[in-house]
Structure 1
Amino acid sequence: MTSPTHSALAPTKLADWLSLLETRHSKEIDMGLERVMKVKNALDLQYSCPVIMVAGTNGKGSTCAMLESIFIQAGYRVGLYSKPHFLDFNERARVNGVPLDDESFVKAFDVVEAARKEISLTYFEFTTLAICKLLADAPLDVVILEVGLGGRLDAVNVIDADVSIVTSVDIDHVDYLGDTREKIGFEKAGIFRQGKVAICSDPQAPQSLIDHALAIGADLRLFGRDFNYNGDKQQWNFGGREQRRNSLAYPSLRGANQLLNASAVLAALEALRDQLPVGAQEVRTGLVMVDLPGRFQVLPGRPTVVLDVAHNPHAAATLSQNLDNMGFHAYTYAIFGSMLDKDILGVIAHMAGKIDHWCLCDLPLPRAASSDQLLNYLHDANVTEDKDHSLHQFKSPEDAYMFAMSKAGENDRIVVFGSFLTVAGVMRARRNAQS
């Protein structure tokens, strides 16, 4: 990437750039693509390799990680944009599984800064354009882009994808996307393109998503109609429109919905088989080797610690099911922090019967729910204290984690969930303890 002459006023360090971008725009989220599209055109941002875009209420990260892992095993050079990050911003952009360095980001930010002129961009819009430009200018064979919020008006959607995947559609971000699956399905279907493959792995795809795909002439492929899976305890099989893959290893990612995500991945591979052929062994190895922090991630050691970014009822229901499948634990401690705009009562409804000791924490964002508010939600859900159940409040996930670790016995477990920030706080506490 050719970097413009560095402005004397522009930051020279990544951390300073990010601090500037967090405060520059008047809104944290500013829906609409007009401003982003203008800067994209000024950047002459275009790709010379296939692009896969992934949206969905839950399952986006797992789907992207599986795609990345399989393509790497097949010997391709793979670019990935995912979000949000846990500990370091660099996690958001990877080439062949390796995060890009600070210098690359600073150069990309300089390029976007020169191109935007007087156009104001949010943190997400600015960084999305910078990362998309970084990946477009790299010598890559395939690029995977994860949508942030919704689809139709998300900044990533200024890119035209060759294959678009919607993993699941459920209620989340109601202030921006609507309060029904039909409204949200239409928003997510906004990433589909005329004449291009559009995949939906939700077993009950909203009619609005199907109708939009038909209206624009996308090549829609639905789970249960155009692709499917079956299997036993040892292995599973995939069937697509024209391609079958048998005797597959289960993904190393834990969880009840991972075969739905993996099926969408294999449907995408089928769609791109002429441009990016992938062999059976490469698929098997890619599924076994895939790694994704914070998605039903069970850490080694005792007490058992589970990290899961579940932050809406759909994800909480899956987490609850996964906890049931873990086997016996004497007591379960929860470290729970959430954004205020989430369906907190809906999340609690799925988790209340699984938790003995709640450790409620504040999070470092103005739009986060306070531990006082979380306590009120638990009271509203009739969660009470007795000799075997307790409710505690903390100023941070780190403090809550240290408390839970001091109380939990060897046969207990600690479940960290509710927000990326909750999981990130515990990851930070563990890293600090090990350093």
Structure 2
Amino acid sequence: MSLLPVPQATSPLSVWLDYLNSIHSSAIDLGLDRVQVVAQRASLTKPANTVITVAGTNGKGSTCALMEAILLDAGYSVGVYSSPHLIRYNERVRINGQELPDGDHAKAFAHIEAVRKDVSLSFFEYATLAALHLFAENKVDVVLLEVGLGGRLDATNVVDHDVSVITSLAVDHVDWLGDDINVIGYEKAGIFRANRPAICGQEKPPATVPAHADDIGAEFYQAGIDFTFKAESETTWSWSHKGYELEELPIPQLPLMNASTALMALGSAHLDISDVNIVNGLKNATLPGRMQFLPSRPVTVLDVAHNPHSAQYLVSQLTARFANKRYHVVVGMLHDKDVVETLNALSPIVGQWYLASLEGPRAASAKELSQSVNEALNKSLFDSPVLAYQAAMEQASQDDIVLVVGSFHTVGEVLEYCQSLEA
């Protein structure tokens, strides 16, 4: 029970966030019983005519951003819910590509507070319900929901969604989901719905994913089987599904695998989208902290890759784009991630490590990271990501690359610092 007084609808957003963090025993509490009660009371289980829910280990945010850009070009009103944020809580909710002012979030929290009564909610559950309220209140046409953790027991799964998406599957969040990839696959497939489209963007998922789709009678579409994509050149790619083919599509700034999955999800939603909308959306789609390039010399690349799967993909993209470059890698991580294998995945491109401590109970210290790095002569330890970044920028030559990676926290701190320099 919170010792903080209940804020008002006019209270600052920071006061509400402190309150939300205090009212439940843990920030993460998997299960739908409590959140389902409040969602039904507030009539939030269907916040828009079309709802697409996106789960997965990596690529959720990119897939949502790609769908959002295409839908906006097609003239739809679109709400996006994502987590975690890089700098500000407001990043978690976008309506028509824009964040909402603090006051809108405070009013939404006040509405959920009035409805929940004696039902205890975790921070994520509360935030999810507030986002759904904002989407319903703004009468958006399409809602894109990014699953927070797992799928089956995630708060977003109380929504009656029309299309389910799994972007990719790998071992992550071991403390909550375990290290059995088949169990992880089953948990994420828990968002599938009977007689509705269920998209899997990974070509060889664990058997539990198609098995669960079959068990409940979902309309299952598998990457590499039901839909495919192919890079045709450095600037174009093609996509196909059951004889329908899109050619000479522009390669987006976000991963092609996620773009392919986004196209399958949108096609399954039976929305009015033209080829021109797809082309424009692919050109326009961006997402902070995902292969984000800052206009600095040396070049700064920000990426939230925080597990071996995403780190391997990042390295493949960087080596393809920047051959024969020296990389100065600023990294900070949470200790409940697979630190050793993630750093091993990054190591082939590293010229110099800048290991940074993060703050909080889940944070790994720079000393902990150092124990996972073999290159004794090529590493320096810092008390924060910003200090590590400052050192990297000082030591790197104009033609080198400074990569900031390892966590939303790491990227968020450096991005906020860089934005402060521009202010």
- TM norm structure 1: 0.93
Query: Secondary structure of 1:229's partner?
Result: strand
How do 1:274-289 and structure 2 match up within 5 A? Answer: 276-289=271-284
Letter of the 1:366 counterpart: P
Task: Please say if residues 361 and 370 of structure 1, whose CA atoms lie closer than 8 Å, have aligned partners that are also in contact.
Answer: yes
Letter of the 2:78 counterpart: V
Query: Secondary structure of 2:403's partner?
Result: strand
2-structure distance, mates of 1:376, 1:327: 29
Q: Does 1:116 align with 2:116?
A: yes
* Map of 1:33 onto structure 2: 32
Q: Which runs of 5+ in 2 are unaligned?
A: none
* Map of 2:99 onto structure 1: 99
Query: Secondary structure of 2:376's partner?
Result: coil
> How many Å apart are 1:95 and its aligned residue?
0.9
> How many Å apart are 1:178 and its aligned residue?
2.1
Relative distance call for 1:168 and 1:110 in structure 2 (3 A) is same
1-structure distance, mates of 2:381, 2:191: 41
Query: Secondary structure of 1:356's partner?
Result: strand
2-structure distance, mates of 1:269, 1:319: 26
Query: Secondary structure of 2:371's partner?
Result: helix
Q: Does 1:269 align with 2:266?
A: yes
Question: Is 236-245 or 412-421 further displaced after alignment?
Answer: 236-245
| 1:361-401 deviation digits (Å, cap 9, x = unpaired) | 111221111111111122xxx3221xxxx211111111111
* Map of 2:393 onto structure 1: 405
> How many Å apart are 1:10 and its aligned residue?
7.1
Query: Secondary structure of 2:372's partner?
Result: helix
- Between the two proteins, what is the percent identity of the paired residues? 43
Task: Please say if residues 10 and 107 of structure 2, whose CA atoms lie closer than 8 Å, have aligned partners that are also in contact.
Answer: no
Q: Does 1:239 align with 2:231?
A: no
How do 1:70-149 and structure 2 match up within 5 A? Answer: 70-149=70-149
1-structure distance, mates of 2:273, 2:283: 15
Pick from 378, 383, 386 the counterpart of residue 375 of structure 2: 383
* Map of 2:293 onto structure 1: 298
> How many Å apart are 1:242 and its aligned residue?
6.1
Query: Secondary structure of 1:315's partner?
Result: helix
2-structure distance, mates of 1:8, 1:344: 39
> How many Å apart are 1:9 and its aligned residue?
6.4
> How many Å apart are 1:203 and its aligned residue?
1.0
CA RMSD of aligned residues (A): 1.6
> How many Å apart are 1:145 and its aligned residue?
0.5
2-structure distance, mates of 1:383, 1:31: 39
* Map of 2:330 onto structure 1: 335
2-structure distance, mates of 1:17, 1:423: 25
1-structure distance, mates of 2:243, 2:57: 28
* Map of 2:219 onto structure 1: 219
Relative distance call for 1:291 and 1:15 in structure 2 (3 A) is same
Task: Please say if residues 30 and 153 of structure 2, whose CA atoms lie closer than 8 Å, have aligned partners that are also in contact.
Answer: yes
| 1:105-140 deviation digits (Å, cap 9, x = unpaired) | 111100110111111111111111100111122221
2-structure distance, mates of 1:183, 1:221: 20
* Map of 1:189 onto structure 2: 189
> How many Å apart are 1:51 and its aligned residue?
0.3
* Map of 2:68 onto structure 1: 68
How do 1:201-212 and structure 2 match up within 5 A? Answer: 201-212=201-212
Task: Please say if residues 227 and 239 of structure 1, whose CA atoms lie closer than 8 Å, have aligned partners that are also in contact.
Answer: yes
Task: Please say if residues 352 and 383 of structure 1, whose CA atoms lie closer than 8 Å, have aligned partners that are also in contact.
Answer: no
Paired residues in the alignment total 417
> How many Å apart are 1:235 and its aligned residue?
2.0
* Map of 1:317 onto structure 2: 312
| 1:210-267 deviation digits (Å, cap 9, x = unpaired) | 11111111111101111112241142221113633222111132xxxx2211111111
1-structure distance, mates of 2:79, 2:325: 43
* Map of 1:19 onto structure 2: 18
Task: Please say if residues 329 and 411 of structure 1, whose CA atoms lie closer than 8 Å, have aligned partners that are also in contact.
Answer: no
Task: Please say if residues 243 and 270 of structure 1, whose CA atoms lie closer than 8 Å, have aligned partners that are also in contact.
Answer: no
* Map of 1:3 onto structure 2: none
Query: Secondary structure of 1:325's partner?
Result: helix
2-structure distance, mates of 1:396, 1:59: 27
Relative distance call for 1:330 and 1:318 in structure 2 (3 A) is closer
Task: Please say if residues 330 and 404 of structure 2, whose CA atoms lie closer than 8 Å, have aligned partners that are also in contact.
Answer: yes
